[in-house]
Structure 1
Amino acid sequence: MTTTATITTRTVEYPADGLTMIGHLALPAGADRRPAVLLGPEGMGLSDVERRRADALAELGYVALAFDLHGGRYLSDPEEMLARCLPLLADPDRMRHIGHAALDEVRAEPRTDPDRIAAIGYGTGGAIALELGRGGVDLRAIGTVNATTTGRPGEAARIRCPVWAGVGSEDPIMPPSRRNAFTAEMQAAGVDWRLAIYGGALHAFHHPPVDHPVVPGVGYHPQHARRAWRDVVDLLAECLPVTEDPGA
């Protein structure tokens, strides 16, 4: 456990997908209940990038759980990452299982207001956030970057909260055809949805450069990374304010 003047962090372990997941929980100062945010990583898995984002959310007043995908492993080999993530992305029930396990973990935290939870995710983590919504989980907001994925027919109608998605205009993994299918799914389901397209950005544009090989079409865009983070924070401020307005 690590405590600073403003936040406390600790590692949490919980079972999911036949593995022992190792997440990163960040708590704001104080002892009162707060809204909570699940934060899912790119397909490579949980790294210090997501841990720092969870810490930043805790500094804003949220309980934040950066959840795990691979049982404590970070898959730096692109082939190994794809071998695990592609079957996972093709299996909504597996994605929901991983998401529900993280959801149960954050709900069990005494600081969490269990009725005020959002899910934010990047890549595979974003697809999991969307599947929680399609599975009917009562979330206050869903935000995804690099995850304009579609679900099983008709299930998007179960989404009960606003959905924000961000994607790079030059992302070959989430090309216009996939973006269009995603927005058509959201529109047909009557979801309150928004799509932000960041001009000139590739896949994983939000993620700082890594010291290992990556799949083609990945590239960091510092300016859009900052913009996407501000958009995520704005989504939370709108849909999951730290202080609930009794007159709202």
Structure 2
Amino acid sequence: MTTVTTRVVEYPADGLTMVGHLALPAGAGRRPAVLIGPEGVGLSDVERRRADALAERGYVALAFDLHGGRYLGDPEEMLARCMPLLADPGRMRGIGHAALDVLRAEPRTDPDRIAAVGFGTGGAIALELGRDGAGLRAIGTLNALTTGRPGEAARIRCPVWAGVGSEDPIMGPAQRDEFTAEMQAAGVDWRLVVYGGALHAFYHPPVDHPTVPGVGHHPRHAQRAWRDLVGLLAECLPLAE
């Protein structure tokens, strides 16, 4: 197995001290890099492991923080923080750009080859980075079919891949239609994969705390969605032979 080096990185954003997880691949040269946004509950070992897995493949990976080092396992507390955040593109962009600046400043990062992927709230932040014109090579989101302010999707200059469960009550058919109409009208190179029978956050392992209604793990589709995200990165951020 490829040796991966990890470290905690602290940086300011949204009035908080964020605590991210940086994973570096073996070697000393610059590598393509991936920004990883977590679910609304916040950064956990799930995203840290995803960062490590991408570093094993040869990417620099930063799993960023949403809540100043906190994990919000109480659904009411999580919604009380995330709903206002999701309604405020400026705040989302601030959180995303702060993390992107950290990733770009890492000496191992090739600053011209960065992708952003995210899950739930983290995916919405990845999309807002694109709508703000960030220089990304790809955007990948799961359960984040959020639409932006009119006309701003035209600033997205990279392919967008989105995945959602067919039975997700939070990101249902209406959200799918609005999202794809926005992407199409803006001329974005977009794809949407609907995973049959899957609920919200189907790709997230089961948790030992209460969740919002409509959440459920789907092991087979979770594996497929991860392969699809890795495929997006292989297409848009190819690793040198």
1:195 is matched with: 192
- 1:57 equivalent to 2:54? Answer yes
Letter in 1 for 2:3: T
Partner SS for 1:65: strand
The aligned counterpart of 2:90 is: 93
Answering whether residue 44 of structure 2 is matched by residue 47 of structure 1, we say yes
Measure, in 1, the Cα distance between the counterparts of 2:85 and 2:169.
Answer: 20
> Which residue identity is paired with 1:154?
G
- Give the counterpart letter for 1:158 in structure 2: R
1-side partners of 2:158 and 2:25: how far apart? 24
CA contact (8 A) 2:39 2:121 kept: yes
Structure 1 residue identity aligned to 2:41: M
CA distance in 1, matches of 2:215, 2:68: 24
Question: Any idea what SS the aligned residue of 1:116 has?
Answer: strand
Aligned match of 2:17: 20
Aligned to 2:143: 146
Q: Using the TM superposition, give the Cα deviation of residue 6 of structure 1 relative to its aligned residue in structure 2, in angstroms.
A: 1.2
> 1:31 aligns to what?
28
Residue matched to 2:69: 72
Q: Distance in 2 between matches of 1:209 and 1:230?
A: 19
Contact (CA 8 Å) 2:2, 2:25: kept in 1 or not? no
- Which sections of structure 2, spanning at least 5 residues, go unmatched? none
1:191-231: per-residue Cα shift (whole Å, max 9, x none)? 00000000000000000000000000000000000000000
Secondary structure of 1:229's partner? Answer: helix
The correspondence of residues 4-19 of structure 1 with structure 2, limited to 5 A, is 6-19=3-16
1:166-187 C-alpha deviation (Å, 9 max, x unpaired)? 0000000000000000000000
Find the aligned partners of 1:66 and 1:179 in 2 and give their Cα distance: 26
Judging changes above 3 Å, is the alpha-carbon distance between structure 1 residues 30 and 89 closer, same or farther for their aligned structure 2 residues?
Answer: same
In 2: Cα distance, 1:92 partner to 1:35 partner: 27
Instruction: Tell me which amino acid in the other structure corresponds to 1:103.
Output: L
Letter in 2 for 1:87: P
What is the root-mean-square deviation in Å for CA atoms of aligned residues?
Answer: 0.9
CA distance in 1, matches of 2:10, 2:170: 31
1:109-141 Cα shifts (integer Å, max 9, x gaps): 000000000000000000000000000001000
Shift of 1:5: 5.3
Structure 2: distance between partners of 1:78 and 1:175: 20
Q: Give the whole-Å Cα distance in 2 for the aligned partners of 1:222 and 1:27.
A: 28
TM-score (norm 2): 0.99
Distance in 1 separating the partners of 2:119 and 2:34? 13
Gaps in structure 1 of 5+ consecutive residues: none
Residue 105 (str. 1) matches residue 102 (str. 2):
yes
1-structure distance, mates of 2:240, 2:114:
13
Aligned to 2:175: 178
Give the count of matched residue pairs: 241
